[in-house]
Amino acid sequence: MSDTEPDQQLKALEARIKAAKEAQEPGPRMDEHYSQAQLAWRMVIELVAGLGIGFGMGYGLDVLFGTLPVFMVLFTMLGLAAGVKTMLRSAQEIQEKKLAEEAEMKDEGA
């Protein structure tokens, strides 16, 4: 058995792998595509998370200091504000992506 035989087999295998990869040319990945429902759920979860974290922090401080409704109400409102701010940031990010895609489509068409 010569040393060139394994080298030839390896080269043949590499060629077959390359041909198989070229034949499978993937289309757009489904996990990169977000439907409107997924985006809506993302925004709802961001809002609820802000409310939940604010409520938890406020309740914890109220229990610690013995002032039950004061910090709970305050931090719940701050959590709501933070959740809304995060939702708006997400909406702006999505809008910027869509505008960039539309601009790219116009550039390709022109």
Query: Residue 92: inside a domain, yes or no?
Result: yes
Which region, left, alpha or beta, applies to residue 28 given φ > 0 means left and ψ of -120 to 50 means alpha? beta
Q: Encode pLDDT of 32-46 as tens digits.
A: 566 888 888 999 999
Position 39 scores a pLDDT of 86
12 belongs to a structural domain: no
DSSP letters spanning 31-84 = GG---HHHHHHHHHHHHHHHHHHHHHHHHHHHHHHT-HHHHHHHHHHHHHHHHH
Assess if residue 2 is contained within a domain: no
Given a cut of 90, whether residue 64 has pLDDT beyond it is: yes
CB atoms closer than 10 angstroms to residue 76? 20
Identify the domain containing residue 63 by its residue range: 33-109
pLDDT in tens, 71-106: 999 999 999 999 999 999 999 998 998 899 888 888
Give the pLDDT of residue 58.
Answer: 96
Residue given tokens 């709970």 in the structure block: 72
Confidence at 30, pLDDT banded by 50, 70, 90: low
User: Does a structural domain hold residue 57?
Assistant: yes
Q: Is residue 23 one of the residues assigned to a domain?
A: no
- For residue 5, tell me if it sits in a domain: no
Total domains in the chain come to 1
In a domain, 99, yes or no: yes
Q: Is residue 54 assigned to a domain?
A: yes
